[in-house]
Every structure is written in structure tokens, then in C-alpha cells.
Chain A
């Protein structure tokens, strides 16, 4: 990796200042934010990121807090994945979130990897991750996966890039109607998780979120309502021990007298953003979760998928895991 200067602020203001200092006159940043480092390190080693300044957030106290305040879950950006997966309040009132955290990578990585880092991590597309492949995500002209090897790429929302977003927590949080809190020069801004992530056809092709280089994601808030309590998660990994999602599902169901009152479903591993499936959600409302209804919802969830040459299997696979998650919530 390229040498850099490590800055260790002890306050969020100090961190913001360090980020501001690292902006050049054309508004480009020379800095990278360091939390658990589990994604940043891989970017540095492959020279995908070559920051001159690395701003270490770990010296800022309190950013790793997990608080349950009435019906609101507040998680600091530095909360580790292992803390989230083991938190009693989360296990009880938003089980899918704990399950999603537990499905990430390996125990070693989860013990240092953070909530903020997980949401802000860069894509795992093989072309993106190889320095030699100057792909569209790295300022090149082409998304090589489109006509190349695309087994792990998107079946929804692709074009001009066909990455899938790698964050498992993003998928779970989208289904749980969570919000992210971003610290900007003007103060704190709260945004629904779904609007935090951007499709390549909407936002900048060079990034995956609305976060600007001089801003810091500081907190995630999850409403601990009946929907969250009735949530479940499933992630399919090609290698069970340690892998990214070929597809994942988070479903949150609120029932009334055996019938679905409210439903939120997000798919992961299939699109450049956490992929909500509103038509499938609507189909469930007012019905009991029997096999016929589940089959219809699965068909609806995957309707309109546009597989590439090697990833058509993601359609039956996503249906398969969604089937199981809904059965579990029936």
C-alpha cells in the first residue's frame, strides 16, 4: 500500500476538520475514513484507494454505543458486527438484524468490522477488486462483467455498472425501515437507509452512497416496532464458512389475527443497492402466509429480473431462500 499520514482525532469535530483539511481546491478528497479497517485495508493493499491521509475514528469515544431508547434502537457507527449479533435487545426486538450481522465474513472480521464500515464498504466485483482491470467503477469506460464473467453480479438495477452491494446489514436495515445519521458541516442529517444507497444510473458511478467525502456516517436508527420483532434473515453463501451473499433476504412481517398487516422485504446480493420488492410486500397484506401465497410472493419478488449470461440461477436461488424465510414467519 501507499504510505499515508494517520490522523487520530478524539472528537467528531476533529474528524470533520481532518476531512475538510484533506479536500483539495477542486473538491476532491485525499482522505479515507478508518473504522474497523476490514474493507479499507483490502482497498489499500490492492491500490484501489491511495489516500494521503487516513482519519482514524476509533479515538472518538462513544461511537460504538448500542442503545435501546423506548421503541428506537440507536447504534453508533463504530458498533462492531459481533456486538450487534450478540445484543440482547436486538436479538429480541429486531432478530433479523442480529442474524444478518452474524452472517458476515468470519468471527475474526466481525469482532473488528463495524456497522459504519459495513454500510460504506466498496463492491466486491472481481473486476473492481483487480487493480489491472480499469473498470467503470474505477473511472474506466466499461463494466467488464456485462460481457465477461458475471456469475456474482446483479440481476436487478444494473447499468451501467452491474455490481451487487456487498453489505448484509444494508439489506436487513432496508427491510427494517432504518435511517442513517450523517454528520455534515451543517450538522446532523437523518436519511432513510434506502435513500442512502444509490443506483449506478442515479448517483455517481464512482460510489455507492450519497455520503460525501467530508461527511461521516455516525449512527443508524431502527424503529423497534412489531415489524422488526417479526423479522427474519437468510443469506446464501457459496462457501458457508466465509463468503459474500449470492443472494440474501430480509423479511419483516407484522400480523394481525393470523393475517399479514404490514410487510417489508429486501433482497441482497442481487442489485447495486438493497433491493426492496414492494409488489411482493403488497401481495402479502391481508393474507395468511400459506404455501400458495408464499409462492405467489416469491414469483412477484423476482419478476422483472434481468439476469446476465451467468447469473440466471439467482432467480430460483432468491426464490428458494425467500420461501424459507416466509415459511419461518408464517
Chain B
């Protein structure tokens, strides 16, 4: 399997490094020191001995698990669905001011006059900050921030700013950016230096010599993260030495320092809080311009400041997934083996360079060449978005593979397997194929004719991700004398279910129900945690929680052993009771905890490499119905099979996978940032016109967790967003012969591909 290039997202872990095989080399035997009772000269003594660490922190056999690997209801589900969960948006502090941003209305401008006299005269005006005084380079670039007594007054202040500007030359699309006389977006020019992999001549020669050849251009649009909670912060400083800063971010430990600098406070006195957050998908790393503006306003006012982006601002300045223009050629032999792939690609990441994995993505190929460069425009920079670069590469690769397979008259499923050595994908492809009815489907080697009014088709695509973790997290478990248990770490929960497994892991270890453990997360007052990007959170955090829980159990066993008349190693924690392995006296959890000293018990844990793994595989199939009279595409069924190592919470994992498939469906059929290149305006900066899938778009969804995978937990949340877009586009073609090489596959494109638009 070929390697994927690193992702360019700032601070983004390189998730491309896959673990070798699932059956990794045997681990060296670990040992541990335990206290044991030994009779010396007739007198019992406590001694320390070294033993093989058979009872050390291990996830244990799946069959024995009582909490993990089950369907767990999220511990924060009730507060979220009842509206009691406090997101950054919901934070209210005494004396809090409300702030708004003034954004550049066009792609590039020179500021002629920025006058706040009328703004200051608005009732409720409190303060303003100039963020850019001379010129702007991108549509939506913040120019100023205002704070007022109410959100309504803040808007009135914003509109009272006298802002006069002259448009500067700008480019908004690939075609104009690449013209020889195009206005230059920056000093680095309009095109980044290409990254090249493989040798073009060899790849082209292999394609030329191949029995079946296809050349085509595939494009994917710029799309948005569409976080339901917009970006922003509430900086709660009221003068004095301390501040609390709430931020809707993926990195709890990533903004208190920035806020402290602006507020001129010691970082130690600034608490960062991410109690609940409403989606990030890669767009919420760091304090951001909006957070910094809030801190500056707060510094000036000596009052708390609430600055959350409006939905329109969010669309214009809070990032996007880069688009791509991919000119690809491929060659295949009669056995369905890819013999050569060549791709020249442009990424559209606004001022950023965008991301795109090389072709043929996951598939093996003897001779492949990719040349990928970024084409810059005067639009906000792309940010990491769930599986950066992968959905784009998946669409081009899987489409090309399908086109070649049809040219060769081969079975679409078998062609994929012929180009994948790793058998995990083979079993996954076979399973999702069975789920959607592939083996009873007529169009396995050629597409439908499109003559019927309603045509059904099936498409496939695969994914992979790293998902391994690293050392960062510090977890503390506290057991109190009254039996209450707390599991605490500063980590944020993006909505993936972190809070639930932070409680579930100690519950499993201590033989308790999930409800017996309280998870505390989302604050820099708690133990350190890594940012959530690249699906690294689970494999970084879960081992540390497990380690802390195991340490807590060991320490508690020391206390309980004399009471139970056994050695600490023989204390069994099960079903809310403690008992010696050999039986005898049985204490309820509450009784056992009463044996603790007044201060209770505290245990810490850190990352343990052997408690996590790396490298996930996924396969998806989509079944669609195409209405050839109208161009309507209705997704009937999506199926995903995914390996995740040990699944900490099956319900949450399925939910993540469902979410990935729904986002992929939006990518395939609906979502696209629409820009008018002449006016330099985004035409759909709202949820009415930027079309996310809603309830009626959601198909039957089947998630199969790959339980043959016996590894430790692995992060996988990026993987399920990758294949769905390509699978749906391929299914449309399979249904009716309409090949759409440009996402999203909207009815106008379907009708055009069917030859119905003159």
C-alpha cells in the first residue's frame, strides 16, 4: 500500500502513517512490582516482589466486557437534548458586552476611510477595535470589531461605522487565477510549487501500453464545515488577575495562552473552558481572529465580552474544505489491475494551499504519478476538514477506477479487490456489497441504459485512516468515601462521545455501571489533553483513562485486601461489589469506599502505547435511484463496514459513521460554495441556500463494525466521510449511464449527463 502525503493543516498530526498489519509483533512481557504478604519466621510481613504483569492495564477479552464495546447512551445526552448544556454561545457573565465583526464585503479592497464617530453615537456603544487599517486580501477578512451593551446594539454599531473603500484587483476562481496577467494574490504568486510523486514518463508509458485507457477531468467544489455552533469565544475578564475564557474549539489547551497575552495576565491565571462544543470538523483550532478580537475588547473594557460569528460571517471567514480540479489518466489490464495512473491536480484553498491526497489514493498501482499544486484566490484559506484531502482523492480515484472497469467489462467489486492487497478491505467490500444487494443487481459490469424512468444503481468506495494516538493526556480518577467516582481530564468532546468513554472506561475497570462514574472534561484546570484533530483523540485519551482507572483499582485493592482477607491482586471488582477471588466476604461498592481515608483515593494515568493501535480500513456501498425524467437522485441505502479496534461505545461509533455518511451524501448531491467571480461575493452564505442534507435526504443506513479486528482502540472518525461521495456518484452512473465528473451531482448535471439538456 502506498503512503499518503502529510496533511498541510496547521498543527495537524500526520495521520497518514498506517500501522503495518493488524497482527502486530508480540509485545515483550511486562512486569510489575506488587506488595505481597510473606510469612518470615512465623510472622506475616509485607514485601515487594516483581511479577509478570498479567493483571496490568489491558482492555481484556471482548467477551468479558460489561460496559465497553456495548451500546451506551451518552452521559451528556439528556442535557444536550433538553437544552441545558452550556455551549460557548450560551455563556452569560455579569456585565457582559456583545461584540460583532465588520468583514470585508468584497475579495480585495483598499480602505479609504474607517470612521467610528457615528458608531460611537449609537446607544449602547462600548468599544471598538480596528483589526485591519489599510487593505484586505480576502472576502470576509475582518476589518473591525465593536462591542455594545446588547447584541442588537452591537449590530447597530457595526452598521454605523463609516467605511469607505476602493476595490483592488482580485481573482476568485481557478481560471482567472491562472491567467498570465492575473492579479497576484500574494507575494508567493497564484500557484504553489507542485508536489510531485512518481515519474510522469513511466506512468504515461504504462497507461499508453495498457489494454484499457481512460482520461478524464474530475472536479470537486469548495464546501463548508457547517458547524452548528459558529466560531467564537466569551472572554470573561472583569479586571483583576484572573480570567476565564470559553471558546468553541477543538483544543481546550490551545487558547488560554493567547488570551493571557492579550489580557496581559499570567497564563496560569487564565482558565480555558470548552464544556460543550457544537462541531468543528477541523475548522476550530486555536483562538482565531474572533477570539483575539474578543480578548482585546475585554482588555479595553475590563468587562466580559461575547463574540460569536453570525452564520453569514461563519461561511465567509471560518474556513472550508478545498476544492480540486484533477486531470487524471489511468490504464488497466484485462484482469482489472491498474497498471498506470497519472494525475495533474490543482487544489482550490483560497489563500491557503488546500489538501489533496495523490492518485490512485489507496489502491496499488505499478506506475503512478501525481503533480499537485495549490491555486490561490482571494478567498478565505481552507482549513483541515474531516479527512483533509481524502474525499477529493477518493472521488477522482474511484470514478476513474469505475470508468476503467466498465471499459474492460469487469465486475466493479472484483476490480477493487484486484487492486488491494490488504484482505481487510476485501472482506469489508464483500460485506457492504451484500448489504445493498449487489449480488442480485443486474448492472455489475456495465451501467444501466437510462431508458427507464426510474433506474437503480450501486457504487463502491473505500477509505483508510491512521487514528493512532500519542502521549499527551493526564487523567485523574477520584474515589470518594461515599462511593462517588470522578474521571477527569481537560479534553474537549467534539460530539464524538469523549465524555461518555471517559466515564465508561473506569466503570468497566471498577466493576461499576456507567452511571456510577462522573466524567469531568473541557477545562484547563483539569489534566492535560491533546487537541482533537486527525482522529487522534480516542487513541491518545482512552489509554490514559484506562491507565488511571487501573492505577485506582490497584490502589483501592491495597486498601481492601486486609478487609477481604486476600492479597491485593486477588481483589475482584465486579457488578458493584468487591470480593476476594476465592470468595468469602463481599462488600458493596459503597461499603468498600467507606474504608477509604477521609481524603478518598486519587490515581493518575498517562498514555500507554500498548492500549491503542493505528490504521483503520473502511468500505462503503451506496444504492441510489435516479429519476431520468427529472434528474432527481434519491439515495436508497448506504452501507459502511469499518474497523475501529476495540469499540469503546458501539452506539456512539455507529453514530459517528452515520454522520460521516450523511456528510458524504451532502458532498455528493448538494453542497457547494457558490461564488460570483465578477462581484466577488459568496451567493449562499446561509443554511437556506447552502444545502445540507435534511431528514428526507437520509437513506437507510447500515453500519457494520468489523469485529474481526481484535486490536486495541483506534480513532476512526475521519474515515467514514471519505468514500460516500464517490460511492454515490458511481452509483448514479451505474444506474443510468450518466457519468458526472463534477460534484455535487445536482439534477441539472444529471439531466445534462443523460443528454436531455440542449
Contacts and interface: CB of A to CB of B under 8 A. Distances in A.
A5 interface: no
A317 interface: yes
Contact of A321 (B630, B634, B679, B689): B630
Interface string A234-253: 00101111110010000000
Contacts of B159: 47
Interface in A299-330: 310-313, 315-317, 319-321, 323-324
B757 interface: yes
Given A236-B630, A239-B693, A126 B747 contact: no
Contacts of A243: 691
B748 interface: yes
Interface string A14-25: 000000000000
Interface stretch (B382-390, B467-475, B579-587, B694-702): B694-702
A132 B670 contact: no
Interface in B626-674: 627, 629-632, 634, 670, 674
Contacts of B634: 240
B105 A126 contact: no
Interface stretch (A62-70, A144-152, A190-198): A144-152
A86 interface: no
A132 B292 CA distance: 26
B50 interface: no
Contact of A144 (B679, B691, B757): B679
B676 A240 contact: no
B309 to A, nearest CB: 15
B37 interface: no
A41 interface: no
A246 B747 contact: yes
A317 to B, nearest CB: 5
Nearest to B632: A236
Contact of A3 (B152, B691, B746, B758): B152
Contacts of A311: 748
B747 A317 contact: yes
B196 interface: no
Interface in A256-286: none
Nearest to A239: B691
A288 B277 CA distance: 61
B681 A130 contact: yes
A127 interface: yes
Contacts of A313: 631, 747-748, 751-752, 756-757
Contact of B676 (A148, A239, A241): A148
B691 A238 contact: yes
Interface in A113-130: 126-127, 129-130
Contacts of B674: 126, 149
Contacts of A319: 629
A241 B691 CA distance: 10
A321 B678 CA distance: 34
A296 interface: no
B445 interface: no
A310 B697 contact: no
A109 to B, nearest CB: 11
Contacts of B630: 236, 316-317, 320-321
Contacts of B695: 241
Nearest to A246: B747
A117 B685 CA distance: 24
Query: Helix, strand, loop or mixed for chain B's interface?
Result: loop
B631 to A, nearest CB: 6
A147 B677 CA distance: 11
A126 B105 CA distance: 15
Interface residues of B, number: 36
A133 interface: yes
A127 B684 CA distance: 9
B632 A242 contact: no
Contacts of A2: 156
Contacts of B691: 238-239, 243
Contact of B684 (A126, A144, A321, A323): A126
Contact of A240 (B678, B684, B696, B758): B696
A196 B653 CA distance: 55
B674 to A, nearest CB: 6
A319 B756 CA distance: 11
Contacts of A317: 630-631, 747-748, 751
Best-surrounded residue of B629, B670, B691, B746 (most CB of chain A within 10 A): B629
Given A130-B683, A144-B679, A312-B757, A238 B697 contact: no
A315 B156 CA distance: 45
Contacts of A148: 676, 678-679
Contacts of B758: 312, 315
Contacts of A321: 629-630
Given A240-B696, A242-B694, A312-B757, A320 B629 contact: yes
A1 B310 CA distance: 13
Contacts of B689: 126, 129
Contacts of A238: 670, 691, 746-747
Contact of A133 (B155, B627, B679, B697): B679
Contacts of B152: 3
Nearest to B670: A239
Contacts of A239: 670, 691, 693-694, 696-697
Nearest to B750: A313
A323 B752 CA distance: 19
Nearest to A321: B630
B101 to A, nearest CB: 15
A148 B172 CA distance: 13
Interface in B737-758: 746-748, 751-752, 756-758
B676 A149 contact: yes
Contact of B757 (A47, A147, A316, A324): A316
Nearest to A105: B688
A213 B696 CA distance: 39
A241 B694 contact: yes
Contact of A323 (B629, B696, B751): B629
Contacts of A316: 629-631, 751, 756-757
A293 to B, nearest CB: 17
Contacts of B678: 144, 147-148
A323 B685 CA distance: 35
Contacts of A47: 159
B758 to A, nearest CB: 7
B629 A324 contact: yes
Interface in B107-161: 152, 155-156, 159
A308 to B, nearest CB: 12
Interface string B148-181: 0000100110010000000000000000000000
Contacts of B746: 238
Contacts of B697: 239-241
A56 B753 CA distance: 49
A312 B755 CA distance: 12
B138 to A, nearest CB: 15
Contacts of A3: 152, 156
Nearest to A42: B688
Interface string B93-105: 0000000000001
Given A126-B684, A133-B679, 13 more contacts: A126-B674, A129-B689, A132-B106, A132-B681, A144-B676, A144-B679, A238-B746, A238-B747, A239-B696, A312-B757, A313-B747, A315-B757, A316-B751
Interface of B: 105-106, 152, 155-156, 159, 627, 629-632, 634, 670, 674, 676, 678-679, 681, 683-685, 689, 691, 693-697, 746-748, 751-752, 756-758
Closest 9 CB pairs of A and B: A241-B694, A320-B629, A313-B748, A126-B683, A241-B696, A316-B756, A240-B696, A320-B630, A313-B751
8 contacts: A132-B105, A133-B676, A133-B679, A238-B691, A239-B691, A239-B694, A240-B696, A321-B629
Interface of A: 1-3, 47, 126-127, 129-130, 132-133, 144, 147-149, 151, 236, 238-243, 246, 310-313, 315-317, 319-321, 323-324
